Amino acid sequence: MDLEAAVVLETPDFQQNEYEAACRREMEAIWSALSRSHADADRALIDQAFATAELYHRPQRRTSGEPYIFHPLAVARIVAELGMTSSVVAAALLHDTVEDTAYTLDQVEADFSADIANMVDGVTKLDKSLYGDMAKAETIRKIIVSMFHDLRVIVIKLADRLHNMRTIESLRHEKRNRIAKETLDIYAPLAHRLGVNTIKWELEDLSFSTLQPKIYQQLVQQVASEQPAREANLQEIIPVVVAALHERGITAQVTGRPKHYYSIYQKMVVRGRDFTDIYDLLGIRIILEPPDPLDTNSCYMALATVHALWLPMPGRFKDYIVNPKFSTYQSLHTTVIGPHGKPIEFQIRTREMHHNAEYGVAAHWRYKARGKDGKRSNQPDPMEMLWVKRLSQWQAEEDDPSVFLDNLTADLRSQEVMVFSPKSEPYFLPVGSTPVDYAYVVHTEVGHRCIGARINGRLTRLDTPLVDGDVCEILTTKVADAGPSRDWLEFVKSPRARQKISQFFSKERRDIAADAGKDAIAKQLRHAGLALQRILTLPYLTAVADKLHLADITSLYVAVGNHRVGAQKVVELLIALEGGAETAAEESYEDRLMPEQGHSSHETATSHSGVLVAGDGDVMVKLARCCTPVPGDDIIGFVTRSSGVSVHRRDCRNVADLLTTPDRIVPVTWAKAPAASYLVTLKVEGLDRVGLLADVSAALSEGKVSIVSAQVHVGKDRTWQMTMSFDIPDPHFLESVIRRVRTVPEVTAVHRVNA
């Protein structure tokens, strides 16, 4: 998305011939870059994509006044220079058409292909976001999801952001700073993790120049003033290296390694060093050209050559060939004491590795040399990148976008060590991580159940720092209620481990508060003489939660348990929803008719109740849902204000309240002709186990029972309760159902619900 607004102007600022010439130059540059990487590039596809984008963007201008088409052209050129394929370049040319013009996604698919349409759709979805912290967090989550589905979408997005940063001057100051900060916090580190360093470095320097223009200009001047002396040093050292490599028969390109302004600034800030201390450190890159692009032996031969010339500095050697950074970056790093006692940093890699280092995941689609066996070179499959998989797992587990963004930002900025599982699977962790951090990377439950660890086969403390190459094995417990220790928060380093441990204890506190809140509301209802089953319904509780601006019923219970909302206040709102105190009191003794049962209220009362009222054969009758009487039960009748006679079992808990108004009690008896069916509510109790619900359901199904409603609750002590309602055609059938359910293993009790 072009961060400059697309403005429709009738009079172009560009003359037609200048406009056409500029478009031709960009298209030729795109084709030149594309054909260098892909001999089979599709020129017709690129021309068609440009013609379509130019047609639909023709009326539009950027805020700077230039034609809008220059933005997708620039994005496509960046993508082509990264080595992406013809279809990705075409998608880059079209990436703003669906969002900013009348061109539709269906047209993209019809005119081009489903693959190109999917890429355009992916970029469009990333751009449809509002501003603000939460919107930003959700946008980043979308990026991670898109990245896991198709990394090409992210490559286009990075190119889009790069061109926006190159042309950011026309935006107002506040917007420039916001975009630059977001780029520095998210997009540049993301490019770094994906190995696209050629974009990462430019994004950093452009953001730095926008956010700190005075410091940036000062560094530019200092670098320019020191450049002649630096070049002189390089001209002294490079010929020596080239000659030594030539003597060993090693073909290589040896160049000075440029230092980027933001990198210099970061080292000055983080390390507290002066500019001269940092800039005096020479960087030299050796790019080897072995006959076989897959051959890495030449890198180690070149390393031995450099170490034979100058003394290596202890602790400054890194082998990223054996242990690649972020799954894509491979190189040998070493620092030696060079001429005049000054340190020199060397990076040694093959041409193939250099492409990986510069283009990262984009190198997967770049033109690849082939090894002696004719197979493709060792470019990593981007979808197999451990970091990409790890982030996909994170975003799936974390519901809160802001928490996910915090974890991602911390992860992007951290240095890493690589450790291995006992099965030799690699895992990347922040420097200083412990076995506990490793356990949570493997799986949240492994972390929660961790009780010990072995590093390289030896038992060790859980707070022991892991180093590159360690093999870590986690010892876990099978105790059902196992959980982490609060002390772990004192030494874990990874944001994931810290988040999961904190979440565990937050959830524990939340569960306790929810239980307390639920009990408080129930106690208040009993104190008011109201039946819980009637009042504490899902619709009512949801309505109260909405009224109090709470997310859900659990949040309502938590708020009451934490004394942020009074139980009395909740009960007052529940009573108001029920129609007032008098109605609530009356209806706590009998339920209203349930239309969803499939019968009208009159039909239920007269035709299907199976109950006769003494002295009146035409009165409406219903069976109370609080105790669900069936033929054979001792029953009484209660005259309601609007629903005829409600029939209760004699042992119903609500009968004591009904008897306080004896003038409304009427004699009732069971009719000889039974009703078509009777609603019964049972409560099943047991000890929780895997498959218990399925076994109880199977027992009911075997008894030809159709469940109308059911609720299951599992307590912290593993007690299991299920309250279910179902219709039975014959009251004698109920006992056989109860006996059948009692035979299910781990079921401890089955009984009818009585209010």
Active site residues: 99-100
The length of the chain in residues reads 755
DSSP three-state, residue 632: coil
d(CA 159, CA 84): 11
Please name which of 378, 391, 370 lies closest in space to residue 151, comparing C-alpha atoms. Answer: 391
- What type of residue sits at position 612? L
3-state helix, strand, coil in the chain (%, to 5): 50, 15, 30
Q: How far apart are CA 484 and CA 480, in angstroms?
A: 13
Q: Which amino acid is at 490?
A: E
Q: Is-contact 514 561, C-beta < 8 A?
A: yes
Asked if residues 233 and 282 have their Cβ atoms less than 8 Å apart, the reply is yes
Element (H, E) at 720: strand 719-728
Query: C-alpha distances in angstroms, 546 versus 85, 518, 522, 532, 699?
Result: 51, 17, 19, 20, 39
Write the single-letter amino acid at 373.
D
What's the CA gap between 384 and 380, in Å, rounded? 7
Amino acid at 400: D
The encoded tokens of residue 313 equal 């500095």
Q: Which residue is listed with tokens 């982030």?
A: 391
CA distance linking residue 635 with residue 651, whole number of Å? 8
For 689, other C-beta atoms within 10 Å of its C-beta total 12
The secondary structure element, H or E, covering residue 648 is strand 645-649
